[in-house]
Copies of this chain bind each other. A is one copy, B any other.
Amino acid sequence: MVDIATRVWNHKWKIDPIVRSLIDNDFYKLLMCQSVLRNHPKTEVTFSLINRSSDIRLAELIDEGELREQLDHVRSLSLSRGESTWMRGNTFYGKRQMFTPEFMDWFEALRLPDYHLEKRDGQYELTFQGSWPEVMLWEIPALAVLMELRGRAVLRDMRRFELQILYARAMAKLWEKIETLRDIQDLRLADFGTRRRHSFLWQDWAVQAMTEGLGDKFIGTSNCLIAKNRDLAAIGTNAHELPMIYSALASDDQALRQAPYDVLSDWHEEHDGNLRIILPDTYGTEGFLDNAPDWLATWTGMRIDSGDPIQGAEHAIKWWKSRNEDPSQKLLIFSDGLDVEKIAELHRLFAGRVRVSFGWGTLLTNDFRGLVPNDGLKPFSLVCKAVSANGKPTVKLSDNPNKAMGPADEIARYKRVFEVGRQNPQSVIV
């Protein structure tokens, strides 16, 4: 068992890399990467770091040299023999050889491309440019590096026992959550917390605690390295970057309207079963479902990632019924801003009516609220998103206008094309 306090202490005098492996990354990034490598290997994209919590002045907290050191370390990583074996030999979602030999050959040779970093107004501008399948793999490591360096900065002046008590309290806090979750019958829950984790060691601990504390209720982790090391299922399907980039590449409004369905059509060809999960909110859930082709209603489930989750789930159930599908056979995955109370409420409301599952992120792997002075470790909203593809800007609307991103005129165009009406703003916790 790792003594986390000692290790954090050690960070002060020796380098302990934040990202330790090319598969210290979310499973769905690898799945999407394989799809992108096949369907859009030449697309040029730019990903950019966006700190939605402007009060957290990252460039004042984090030393630029340290940041470069960690990012350079990520660039030095390549797939190890054992990691390759795990990816080639493992069964993911009941399927062998999920990753094709072609993809694996490419991935074994991969080094992540260069980054561009500068300081502006107390924030870091961090961008990645290059071919889509390469650049997309930067998202999760970049976020994890920034999150962990921010934590290290806040903890830098703490003494050994203070650190030990901090982690003792955080452990007790997480364990109380686990004790609450344990009482929910038929719960199914996965760790989705890599991108905003407090640290690698902490995520690793949290996953082990969930494994012991929740047993079968804990179905796995999105983190491939931890899934491999802890012998757990790797969990995930697809994300907004697919419709965002397909849409940016669309030549006109007609093609734009079709783009999100093209994504799923490509996905449909490649995957079946539990990997067929609709993520409907990129440009407004309502319009997306109204205009969806019937074959999409046969998919296994849907992920609710923005807006009011209760409304979103009710909407999904109504939609399945309208397409003559039995909602009780469908899977709803909640993954937005979850904590124990919301998980319990959503489970109470929807278990039985649909198959319910949860992707628990930031408040699983980074809930240090109230544990240091001035709440210096409170979670904040950092993302790393595709901002352009082949020179054209990307847009995301989601079901929460506070999560929208892209140039204003393009946002207006997308709203018109996707017939998005009035949306209720929801505060973005993380």
Contacts and interface: CB of A to CB of B under 8 A. Distances in A.
A342 to B, nearest CB: 23
Nearest to A208: B161
Interface stretch (A53-61, A101-109, A166-174, A283-291): A166-174
Contact of A168 (B6, B9, B161, B169): B169
A423 B208 CA distance: 56
Given A1-B5, A1-B160, A212-B159, A171 B175 contact: no
Interface residues of A, number: 22
Given A5-B1, A6-B1, A168-B168, A213 B161 contact: yes
Decide if the interface of chain A is mainly helix, strand, loop or mixed.
Answer: helix
Interface of A: 1-3, 5-6, 9, 159-162, 164-165, 167-169, 171-172, 175, 208-209, 212-213
Contact of A172 (B2, B6, B168): B168
Nearest to A213: B161
A244 B256 CA distance: 95
Contacts of A172: 165, 168-169, 172
23 contacts: A1-B3, A1-B6, A1-B9, A1-B160, A1-B164, A2-B3, A159-B212, A160-B212, A161-B175, A161-B208, A161-B209, A161-B212, A161-B213, A164-B171, A164-B209, A165-B171, A165-B172, A167-B168, A168-B168, A168-B172, A168-B175, A169-B172, A172-B172
A158 to B, nearest CB: 11
Contacts of A159: 212
Contacts of A161: 175, 208-209, 212-213
